[in-house]
Amino acid sequence: MLKRMVMIILLGGFGIMMLTACNKKSSKEFIEGKAAELSNVYPTEDLQDLFEKFPDGFSIQSDDLYDYKEGEGYSFQSIKLKGDSETKSITGTILWKKVTFDDKEERHEEVLYEGEVIYQNGTIQLKDSTANVNIKHPTLLLQKFVINKESLSALKMDLKSYSYETGSAYISYFLTDSVLNNYMEVDQDTQLRMIVHIRHHTIENKAFGYTVDIRHGKNSHAEIISGGKINAVR
């Protein structure tokens, strides 16, 4: 009987500890604090400097959904970059496609271009210089946009969430910012929405993994950056 009571007390105490930890992780203070750790890389004018932060290498994905027209379709461009820790080169691929919807609202995709890219002289460039293709954003938002504790705390928060199932979190804000508005090619007084997704291993301080998603209606620009445990903090 005594052993059973001790076990119940121990399990109850463990449950309270777990609940307290989860409640902390779902708080605005905690989630915004983790989002603010993006200050370690936002901004990084020269992507080569990321090797100092991630000596084992890193990956970046830049996705643009643009020219959206209701009932008609949109353009989509995705660039995937890999920072090689041995060669210190940053190379990757680009996929550009057109998505359309017919009268029956069925989706159709046409690949306009698929090839290789390289980062050099501060910009993302096609390896095939003869290709008649425009890169939507040859420089990343990562290279020019400031994210830190002060800037986030000054914004109007929209939503926040921590998933008990996946251990990941996100927080979103409404903002009007000259750098973002220029990047998204909208008027300076246009309000945008920024969503910061934080992966489980980042919540647990095991690695660095974020998605910064900027939205204007159905159009969006998202950057996904992944690396090992960050080498230093600014």
H helices of the chain, in order, are 2-25, 28-36, 50-53, 149-153, 178-183, 200-203
| 214-229 pLDDT, tens digit each | 999 999 999 999 998 8
Mean pLDDT, residues 63-92 taken together: 97
Helix (H, G, I), strand (E, B) or coil at 11: helix
| 47-77 pLDDT, tens digit each | 999 999 999 999 999 999 999 999 999 999 9
| 142-163 pLDDT, tens digit each | 999 999 999 999 999 999 999 9
Helix (H, G, I), strand (E, B) or coil at 116: strand
Question: Starting at the edge strand that comes first in sequence, how are the strands of the sheet with 192-198 ordered?
Answer: 123-126, 107-120, 90-101, 73-83, 58-69, 219-227, 208-216, 192-198, 169-175, 156-162
Residue 14 pLDDT grade (very low, low, confident, very high; cuts 50, 70, 90)? very low
Q: Hey, what CATH class is 36-227 in?
A: mainly beta
> Which pair of tokens denotes residue 173?
């804000």
pTM above 0.85, yes or no: yes
**Residue keyed to tokens 């609940």:** 19
What are the sequence ranges of the domains in the chain? Answer: 36-227
